[in-house]
Amino acid sequence: MSSPPKARLIRYGGWLPSRTVHESFVKELIRITNGVRQDHKASHSGEDAPHIPSVQEFADAMNRDPVMKGLFDNIFLQVSPLNQVPDFDTLLFLLDTIVVQPPSYFIATYPDGTVIGEPVGVPIYLIFDLLSNTSAAYDLFRLDKFNAALKKLLDAWGAYLADPSPPPGYSPSNCTLNESAEGWFSSTALKNLQKYLGNLSFEQTYVCPDPNAKNRGFATWDAFFTRVMQPGVRPVRDPDNPYLIHSACESTVYRFRENVKLHDQFWLKAQPYSLYDMLDGEKGLGYAEQLAGGTVYQAFLSPLDYHRWHSPVKGTILDAYVVPGTYYAVLPDDGAGPNDPDLKEGDPHGALIRSQGWLNVAATRALIFIQTEEPVGLVAFIGVGMAEVSTCDITVQKGDQVDVGSQLGMFHFGGSSHTLIFRPGIKIVLEDGVEVDQHVWVNSLLAHVEVPPNA
């Protein structure tokens, strides 16, 4: 089986489509939304269209709180001129359009007439992207009361995406799982889905309830997104070797850091890791103290990746729980840097992706602590929810015994990031080919503990 290729769109691929697709998607969303509003006004004596219940509840929470509403108004004053969403009211109506349908594969046309199709797996993020890269959003999007209100909206959308019988007015959540030009199983979309599958097809890699059906038998969007792999396609090499560490997720390498501190200035531009804050402060202090001075590995999942987490080692689950956090908060910046692989220097898009290190302390995240035999010892896994992908579903509990490759949990809809933390006193050596911008298969050999010369 061949190895996965080098990832070109490492930090933004799957999250941020091309500028043309991004702008075309938002423009089309605004066109559809405005049409619905105009039709309703024409038939209801000028009265504006009502909001979807979950959107109305979110709107009410913002409007009755002068601090949150004031910050939202300031966001639209501070946002980049590239922003296409003019105000808070328009944002609400765009959410109405998004949350009654599943994510789609979007077709756009370049100015020269070239037709391009790209996945839009995180549509809410696309309308929040530029808004989040403002100082007002930094203040608003970190508020507990804001995230509590937003969580209700996202939970309602997530419930719809997992419901085979949606309520009236909602499209079936698997309606974009088809072979049409804008379907997830069109020939163009399949090329994206199969980009990192080596020589295997989608159907050969994943369990499809009905491989010959146009929707491959997936009854809901969530069933498609949380699909499981065929037995044997991601084998575990030498699972009983205590010196080996395996990949916990199908993901692309983001960062590798040694000698990570218990406390550090995680809000700085370099986004150093701060274990106390990553592991939920006082609740995880005992684990953080054991891991201080150790090593951190982080990689992220695109919306097209396999989204279940596997154990990187054999051992015992010491603890497992979800930490509530943010959804769209980022560290505001001056835009893409001079060495950005995808965006021009200064482009304000994609601040969430550039904030991945910081999201370990801010975002909704799953914490799982695994005790394995020496020399590895204690390992911490963090599943970091990003944007609408903040449903962290842990499927193990304290006391469970896990083998290498055993399922730990999963993300629901979108893309996300994950982190592995290893204790001090051991040298973690990444395997050949495991480097920044490289896509790594789940269960594959990720690293090993270096054996002392005289051992």
The 3 state secondary structure assigned to 67-98 is HHHHHHHHHHHHCCCCCCCCCHHHHHHHHHHH
Backbone dihedral angles phi then psi of residue 386, each to the nearest 5 degrees: -125, 130
CB 219 within 8 A of CB 163: no
* Contact residues for 139 (Cβ-Cβ < 8 A; gap 6+): 71
What is d(CA 213, CA 216) in angstroms, rounded to the nearest whole number? 5
What is d(CA 38, CA 199) in angstroms, rounded to the nearest whole number? 50
Q: Where are the alpha helices (DSSP H) in 237-350?
A: 275-278, 285-291
Q: Residue 39 has what pLDDT?
A: 93
Q: How far is CA 263 from CA 268, 296, 355, 423, in A?
A: 13, 14, 18, 15
Backbone dihedral angles phi then psi of residue 71, each to the nearest 5 degrees: -65, -40
Q: Which of 348, 85, 433, 376 is nearest to 244 (CA)?
A: 376
Strands 315-323 and 401-402: antiparallel
CB 204 within 8 A of CB 230: yes
Strands 251-257 and 439-440: antiparallel
Q: How far apart are the first and last CA of the chain?
A: 34
- Cis, bond preceding 303 (omega within 30 deg of 0): no
Any idea what the Cα angle at residue 307 is, between residues 304 and 313, rounded to 5°?
135
- Cβ atoms within 10 Å, residue 210: 10
Q: Residue 390 has what pLDDT?
A: 61
* Contact residues for 41 (Cβ-Cβ < 8 A; gap 6+): 47, 48, 49
Q: Residue 120 has what pLDDT?
A: 84
| Helix or strand (DSSP H, E) at 315 | strand 315-323
Q: How far is CA 437 from CA 255, 288, 298, in A?
A: 9, 28, 11
- Cβ atoms within 10 Å, residue 397: 11
pLDDT < 50 stretches in the chain: 1-11
What is d(CA 274, CA 261) in angstroms, rounded to the nearest whole number? 6
Q: Which of 383, 233, 408, 223 is nearest to 312 (CA)?
A: 408
Q: Residue 269 has what pLDDT?
A: 61
Q: Residue 10 has what pLDDT?
A: 35
Specify the DSSP class assigned to residue 103: -
* Contact residues for 380 (Cβ-Cβ < 8 A; gap 6+): 279, 287, 291, 367, 368, 369, 370, 419, 420, 421
Q: How far is CA 134 from CA 17, 203, 336, 431, in A?
A: 21, 42, 14, 39
Residue-wise pLDDT for 106-159, tens only, equals 888 777 777 778 888 889 999 999 999 999 999 999 999 999 999 999 999 999
What is the residue type of 253?
V
* Contact residues for 149 (Cβ-Cβ < 8 A; gap 6+): 57, 58, 61, 62
What is the residue type of 377?
G
Is the pTM of the predicted complex or chain greater than 0.85?
Answer: yes
